[in-house]
Structure 1
Amino acid sequence: MRHWKTILALALPSILSFATMTASGTINLILVGQLGALVIAIVGVSNIIMYNAWALFSGLGHTINYLVAQSYGAERMDEGVRRTYVALLVALVMGGAVFVVGWFASAVILTLMGGSEAFVKEGTPYLQLRFAAMACSIPIFVYHGFMRGVGDTRTPMLLTVLGNGVMIALTYGLAFGRWGLPELGLAGAGWGMLAGEAIGLLGCFYVYYVRMGRRFGTRRRMKPSLAEIKLVSAESGKLGLQEFAMSVAMLIFTRFVMELGTTAVAANEVALNVMSFGFMPAFAFGATATILVGQEIGRGAPELARKLGTHTAVLGSLLLLLLGAIEFVFAEQIARWYSHDPEVYELTAHLIRVAAFLQLFDGFYNFYGGGLRGIGDTAFLMKTAVALNWLLFLPAAYLSVFVFDWGSYGAWVSLYLYMTVFGLTLMVRYYRTDWSQVRMKQLAGDSGK
Structure 2
Amino acid sequence: MASPSSASRPITKGKQPVAAEFGGPFGSPLAQAVLARDLAECPDELDIDANDIEADGSESDESIPGPTLYRRPSGIAFGAIRPALSLGPAGADESPILSRFERARSREAERSLLRDNHILPPKHQPPHKPQGPIASLYKRLFSTKVRQRVTDEESPPRIVVEPSETTALLGEARGRSGAPAPHEHEHLNEQWEAAVAAGQIKTTWQREAKTIATYSRSLVLTFLLQYSLNATSIFAVGRLGTRELGAVSLATMTASITCYAPVQGLVTSLDTLCAQAYGSGHKQLVGLQLQRMIYFLMVYFIFVIVVWLNAEWILATWIDPVSAALAGIYLRTLMLGVPAYMCFEAGKRFVQAQGIFHATTYVLLIAAPTNVFVNWLFVWHLGWGFRGAPLAVALTQNMLPWLLLLYVWKVDGSQAWGGFRRAAFKNWGPMIRLALPGMVMVVAEWFAFEILTLACGRIGVATLAAQSVLMTVTAITFQIPFPVSIAGSTRIANLIGANLVDAAKTSAKVTVAGGVLVGLFNATMLFSFRYQIPRLFTPDPEVIEIVATVMPVVAGMQLFDGMAAVSHGLLRGIGRQEFGGYANLIIYYVVALPISFGLGFGVGWGLKGLWFGVTVGLGLVALVEYLFVWLSDWDLIVKDAERRNRSG
TM (normalized to structure 1)?
0.83
C-alpha distance 174-327 of structure 1, shift in aligned 2 (>3 A)? same
1:119 and 2:358 correspond: no
The 10-residue stretch of structure 1 (53-62 or 349-358) with the greater mean CA deviation from structure 2: 53-62
Deviations 1:387-422 (A, max 9, x none): 122211221122112211111111110111111112
Structure 1 residue 12 corresponds to structure 2 residue 214: no
Q: Tell me the amino acid that sits aligned with residue 46 of structure 1.
A: A
Match of 1:102 in 2: 304
Which amino acid is the alignment partner of residue 330 of structure 2?
Answer: Y
Residues 284, 351 of structure 1: CA spacing in aligned structure 2 closer, same or farther, 3 A cutoff? same
**Contact 2:354-2:413 at 8 Å conserved across structures:** no
Instruction: State the distance in 2 between where 1:145 and 1:400 align.
Output: 42
Structure-2 residue corresponding to 1:77: 279
Assess if the C-alpha contact under 8 Å between 2:591 and 2:617 holds in 1: yes
More helix by share: 1
**1:92-132 residue CA offsets vs partner (Å, 9 max, x unmatched):** 14531453333332243343232433223332232134344
Instruction: Report 1:391-402 matches (<5 A).
Output: 391-402=590-601
Determine the structure 2 residue equivalent to 1:169. 373
Secondary structure of the residue aligned to 1:3 is: helix
Q: C-alpha deviations, 1:256-285, integer Å up to 9, x for none?
A: 211110010000110111122321112222
Residue 336 of structure 1, aligned match among 535, 555, 564? 535
Task: Output the CA distance in 2 between the equivalents of 1:420 and 1:86.
Answer: 43
Q: Distance in 2 between matches of 1:342 and 1:5?
A: 44
Residue from 207, 224, 228 that aligns with 1:2: 207
Shift of residue 90, structure 1, vs aligned partner: 5.3
Query: Is residue 38 of structure 1 aligned with residue 243 of structure 2?
Result: yes
Specify which of 398, 413, 417 is matched with residue 213 of structure 1. Answer: 413
Following the alignment from structure 2 to structure 1, what is the Cα–Cα distance between the partners of residues 284 and 615? 40
Q: Which amino acid is the alignment partner of residue 535 of structure 2?
A: R
Partner of 1:199: 399
- The 3 A distance-change label for structure 1 pair 433 and 196 is farther
**Contact 1:267 1:344 (8 Å CA) reproduced:** yes
Show the counterpart of 1:248. 447
CA distance in 1 between partners of 2:641 and 2:429 (Å):
17
Tell me which residue corresponds to 2:390.
190
Report the AA paired with residue 611 of structure 2: W
Aligned residue pair count: 435
Which amino acid in structure 2 is aligned with residue 160 of structure 1?
A: L
Give the stretch that moved more between structures: 40-49 or 92-101.
92-101
Report the AA paired with residue 117 of structure 1. Answer: P
User: What does residue 128 of structure 1 align with?
Assistant: 332
Larger mean Cα displacement after TM superposition, 320-329 or 310-319: 310-319
Q: Which amino acid counterpart does residue 121 of structure 1 have in structure 2?
A: A
Structure 2 gap ranges (5+) = 1-205
Query: Which range moves more in the overlay, 247-256 or 328-337?
Result: 247-256
Label 1:107 to 1:62 Cα distance change in 2 as closer, same or farther (>3 A): closer
How big is the shift at 1:320?
A: 2.6
More displaced stretch, 120-129 vs 149-158: 149-158
Following superposition, the deviation at residue 300 of structure 1 comes to 6.3
Do the aligned partners of 1:58 and 1:243 also contact (CA within 8 Å) in 2?
Answer: yes
Match of 1:413 among 612, 625, 629: 612
Residues 352-393 of structure 1: per-residue CA shift (max 9 Å, x gap): 221113212222222222342345434323322221222112
* 8 A contact 1:324–1:357 mirrored in 2: yes
* Deviation of the 1:66 alpha carbon: 8.3
Q: Residue 386 of structure 2 aligns to which amino acid in structure 1?
A: L
Matched-pair identity in %: 18
Aligned residue type for 1:28: S
Q: How far 1:332 sits from its partner (Å)?
A: 0.5
Distance in 2 of aligned mates of 1:362 and 1:164: 26
Whole-angstrom distance in 2 between the partners of 1:98 and 1:185: 30
**Equivalence for 1:266:** 465
Aligned to 1:406, what secondary structure does the other structure show?
coil
The higher radius of gyration belongs to: 2
State the alpha-carbon separation in 2 of the partners of residues 173 and 244 from structure 1: 33
Give me the TM-score of the superposition, normalised by structure 2.
Answer: 0.59
Equivalent residues in 2 for 1:285-324 (5 A)? 285-294=484-493, 307-324=506-523
Are the counterparts in 1 of residues 243 and 462 from structure 2 also a CA contact under 8 Å? no
Tell me, in whole angstroms, the C-alpha distance in 2 between the residues paired with 1:80 and 1:386.
38
Matching of residues 338-417 of structure 1 within 5 Å: 338-417=537-616
Q: Is the 8 A contact 1:61 1:143 kept in 2?
A: no
Match of 1:332, SS state, is coil
Distance in 2 between residues matched to 1:78 and 1:206, nearest whole Å: 26
| Separation in 2, partners of 1:325, 1:137 | 35
Distance 1:305 1:87 in 2: 35
The Cα RMSD (Å) is 3.6
Q: 1:300 to 1:266 in 2, by over 3 A?
A: same
CA offsets 1:69-98 (integer angstroms, 9 cap, x no match): 9x89xxx83479689657634541453145
Conservation of the 8 A alpha-carbon contact between 1:83 and 1:229: no
1:425 CA drift (Å):
2.1
Say whether the 8 Å CA contact 1:102–1:132 is kept in structure 2.
no
Amino acid aligned to 2:217 = L
Distance in 1 (CA, whole Å) between partners of 2:273 and 2:323 is 43
**Partners in 1 of 2:282 and 2:452 — Cα distance?**
38
Map of 1:49 onto structure 2: 254
What is the DSSP-based 3-state SS (H/G/I as helix, E as strand, rest coil) of the residue aligned with 1:331? coil
Per the TM alignment, residue 340 of structure 1 is displaced from its structure 2 partner at its CA by: 1.3
